[in-house]
Structure 1
């Protein structure tokens, strides 16, 4: 067994310099000189302002002091300021002289903790006037802190100006693809009226096509608000806005909440589409969703979009349930008579000749139908829409067309009779009694019955409907007819 090497039992002494324990303790706190209580006491004895504060703390404070005085911050804390071993204390916090503040701030900021943590750490040990402001300034001027800091807390949402009229400011945005479809949404800021169009892509052409359809229905708006998507930043969309005199407002990039109304409607639409069962009619359900949005009161306005947009409610199924929807109109409303018997009229001609023919109302056969006697003696039937009134003239052309009352009352007269145009008259009018007509003869009675043919064995006054009605031919002469004399005044 061999002997052990003596050198393995005698290790070489480490001649490297030993580290200073003070530097080791503060290496993470400061990169420059270290300040201790002895340095602060010496700096306090040399500071003119702190010398006066030390004297006041030992001998008494002035009763009052101006706000502009540099010692005013110490005066308001006079009941809490004490001295200990040459250092001034505010409570248990050391009052740091101006010459020692810079290294202390560097030590507080050595780990770049930020403004809030630096203030919290400093308030546990030190105090001097405007200490919080100096802590904020050292962080704000630190380049690494500003380059790597997080985004600040979200600001209060911007409240858009309230629109005064419907369709004045519109918010637009694309949604999707969802279930393989892309949607173009338009929201009216005044009424919250929503329009949803299914488009092929998120291009400017699709956006312009949808907006043109809306403008044709509701008119041009004043302002359109959108995000910074390529469809809204293209020159084609800008030209469309300029040609229609519409102001286009774009939101801040990467800040969707600025266009919150459109984003909220996108979320509402997606939430509805997610609830649809599979294999359902997609477009039908989308139309129903938009209709329900139009009739439902909005949480912000308290009124439905349709009521604010059109100033009326849209009629829905729920309105049909109320009894006030029952109609009060009668089944057969009475139509007022527009023409009286013997009125001068023009009637529409559907055969050869002039378009309108002269005539006179002969009788009324129904609510909107009349019989009219023409100049040639024919009696035809026309609807109210085919008759118009004729102005009265001085000529007596129609007098020659009058039926002689005496001949019409004579049932034996059969010569020159003319039958009513059977193509213009129906069998239901045979039992109607036409009104009386005027006669130029002074001896004509006030009213007469229409010419009828009685059956041989029928009672007096009864009409035989099996025989055609005969009509007396009007006289062709305007000469007054001589009244027959059956007796003389002399009694012969």
Structure 2
């Protein structure tokens, strides 16, 4: 079944490149073959687009074109090549429209830039046009003040200013154009200036390092939004060094002076976010000896060093960032909580059971004391509700199984269930050889019987790794392993990764079964085909096929018929050589009396002996008497029978007669050959059965063929006389 769905292409959308990118992803996801890509494109584009393709390909048809060719034809028709100068002109004229958000404005700029061919200068051009086209003059001026600002930084700054402006509008803070212009008039021209104040927290709040915290009061955020249009540096000075501003602030003004109740400090601004009052913090700070000491340091100056404990040293290391406000110590924008109030603050932070990391993030926006992080960790570890739902610890370092030295030393086993049938899967850890056994039951008795079948075939392993399933945990199965000297090892409960080799093979076998069911193939046949190919294929871990490691050879398959069979070629050559050489079949058995060829210098040509053993297919050992044994080939012995009336004396007589009649040496060789035939074919004995019947070769010699030589004729006549 195909993955995903594509709707027909809408010609009015003009988004043909984006549509083709989706089509290519669909082709990649569904693994569509190259020859099917054109039919797929024609099918999904819809009737209107197909009609357009027919018109563009006329007089040919779209089916005769390639995929890329069809895409190019439609692309050139819907989006003809535009003028680069004209496109860049349209891009330069784009400005932020009234009511258009920065996100929409930036999106439209990116769309226009796609046809401008900016290349590597894309981000620089987007930055310039984005900033110059902003509708908010204050925002544009604020970004202009930044030096060497990059595209992403400009966008982030503009979005932050936009968010601050919206927040100020929601809070009800408005500023008339008259007051804005009057406040900005003395600082026109975007010159950089220094803002000196005797209020130390402002130097950190409006400084460049820290910035405005998200949890700061709304009034501070509104002031930050107003000041963002200017380029300034905040410096802290003492009141004694801030004479002009301090004097002007004390001069009588015609307007009503604010009462002390209307004076607002930073502590009062954040009081609504804390579970305790700043008055309580101030009171407990005076009671605490260490914090009282720190208050004195802040008011009258810090010493060059402190010799107190770790907590006092922690305050000393942050001495330049600790100030005193309404009797409360403030570190940056965080209240330093006295020890007596810390338990209540921790309880408030832990109210939602956010976890250690989120509690630390929340606490760092409001409060501080040196052991804050450690106290939060201890609180979360002691919380019963947090402990029972905590996440699992980080994964331990992978510890693989030791590789066995020989096959079938350690095997992994597990059960697989698919399509209503159960299978026992056994994997050899050394060779990766797999056995899949269909099981009707999975009790201990059936499991033991299946393992006995495997052990009868491959032997008993030294170690068997399984999970904690009922068959493997049964007492009968444990006794079976113990009686056979097998060490049964089980993995940790509810952790299948411990027996990962077997679990991975279970997944693979299930895929084979599901594929067989999908194509309606016999499951057993599909499993056998898979196992055959798997055992013959090189394994990714060992680099050698399981069959070679397990059996020492590859399994012969149908593909092996493509390779030349060397043994068959040699066998054919040997048979051809036998046919060409010819020869006469002779059989010699142990105990037969034979004439063996004598190669000694003083001996006769043939010497009588007895065959005592056969040393090869055509070689024998012949006992010559007196403890002497000769090893002779079948062509070097002649089987004889002492009771045959055609004895060696007759042969010798024939030889002498041949010499007396003046026959040459060739004739003597023929006599010897004739004698060989006589010795081999003579049967029977004078006094026994068949004594009166001569061999067929003697009484019925085969006449020579027409045109035979004189030598063959003389041999024929001698046989006939005998």
> TM-score normalised to the size of structure 2?
0.45
- For 1:359, the equivalent position in structure 2 comes to 594
Q: How far off is 1:386 after superposition?
A: 9.6
1:406 offset after TM fit, Å?
Answer: 4.4
Tell me if structure 2 keeps the 8 A contact 1:231–1:237.
yes
Distance 1:42 1:261, change over 3 A: same
Q: How far apart are 1:123 and its partner, in Å?
A: 2.1
Change in Cα spacing, 1:303 to 1:103, as seen in structure 2 (3 Å) is same
Counterpart CA distance in 1 for 2:674 and 2:350 is 118
State the match for 2:693 in structure 1.
Answer: none
2-structure distance, mates of 1:323, 1:82: 93
What corresponds to 1:44 in structure 2?
A: 285
Counterpart secondary structure, 2:589: strand
Instruction: Say yes or no: does 1:130 pair with 2:376.
Output: no
Q: Which residue of 1 aligns with 2:546?
A: 305
5 Å-filtered alignment, 1:224-263, equals 224-263=464-503
- The 8 Å contact of residues 158 and 258 in structure 1, kept in 2 or not, is answered as no
Q: What secondary structure sits across from 2:416 in the alignment? A: strand
Partner of 1:12: none
User: Partner of 1:174 in structure 2?
Assistant: 415
The whole-number CA distance in structure 2 between the counterparts of 1:145 and 1:221 is 47
Contact preservation (8 Å) 1:454, 1:463 = no
Q: Cα deviations across residues 341-373 of structure 1 (Å, max 9, x unaligned)?
A: xx9x9626xxxxxxx4433369xxxxxxxxxx9
Post-superposition offset of 1:237:
0.7
Structure number with higher helix proportion: 2
Matched, 1:71 2:290: no
Deviations 1:100-153 (A, max 9, x none): 111111222234333333323222211112212222222222223334x15526
**Contact kept? 1:173, 1:185, Cα under 8 Å:** yes
Deviations along 1:252-310, one digit per CA (max 9) or x if unpaired, are 22222222211111011111211114542322221111122222233334443334445
* Other-structure match for 1:393: 625
Matching residue of 2:514: 274
Does the 8 Å CA contact 1:37/1:87 hold for their aligned counterparts?
Answer: yes
* Structure 1 alignment gaps of length 5 or more: 1-28, 336-342, 349-355, 363-372, 376-383, 413-431, 439-449, 473-492
Paired residue secondary structure (2:441): coil
What is the CA-CA distance between 1:189 and the residue it aligns to?
A: 2.5
Give the Å deviation of 1:239.
0.4
1:283 lines up with 2:524 in the alignment: yes
8 Å contact from structure 2 (residues 356, 376) kept in 1: yes
1:220 and 1:66 map into 2 onto residues whose CA distance is: 73
SS of residue matched to 1:138: helix
Matches within 5 A, 1:366-445: 388-394=620-626, 401-409=647-655
1:218-229 aligned at under 5 Å gives the runs 218-229=458-469
Take 2:703 and 2:333, find their aligned partners in 1: how far apart are those partners? 139
Name the counterpart of 1:347: 589
Aligned residue for 1:44, secondary structure, equals helix
SS at 1:392 equivalent: strand
The 5-angstrom pairing of residues 92-171 of structure 1 reads 92-147=333-388, 149-152=389-392, 155-156=395-396, 158-165=398-405, 166-171=407-412
Of 199, 210, 227, the match for 2:450 = 210
Measure the CA separation in 2 of the matches of 1:184 and 1:466: 79
Structure 1 residues 41 and 470, CA gap change in structure 2 (3 angstroms): farther
Kindly tell me the number of residue pairs found equivalent between the two proteins: 378
Ranked by relative contact order (alpha carbons within 8 Å, sequence separation 6 or more), the top structure is 1
The equivalent of 1:187 in structure 2 is 427
**How much is the aligned-residue C-alpha RMSD, in angstroms?**
4.4
Q: Report Cα offsets for 1:443-477 as digits up to 9, x if no partner.
A: xxxxxxx97979899985444999995686xxxxx
Are the aligned partners of 2:651 and 2:675 in contact in 1 as well (CA < 8 Å)?
Answer: no
1:15 matched residue in structure 2: none
In structure 2, how many angstroms separate the alpha carbons of the residues matched to 1:117 and 1:94?
19
Deviation at 1:81, TM superposition (A): 2.0
Distance 1:192 1:387, change over 3 A: closer
Superposed displacement of residue 319, structure 1: 4.6
- The match for 1:426 is none
Q: Tell me the equivalent position of 1:479.
A: none
1:292 aligns with 2:501: no
* 1:444 paired residue number: none
Q: Is the 1:346–1:389 contact (alpha carbons within 8 Å) kept by the matching residues of 2? A: no
SS at 1:403 equivalent = helix
- Provide the C-alpha distance between the structure 2 equivalents of 1:462 and 1:151, rounded to a whole number of angstroms: 107
SS of residue matched to 1:173: strand
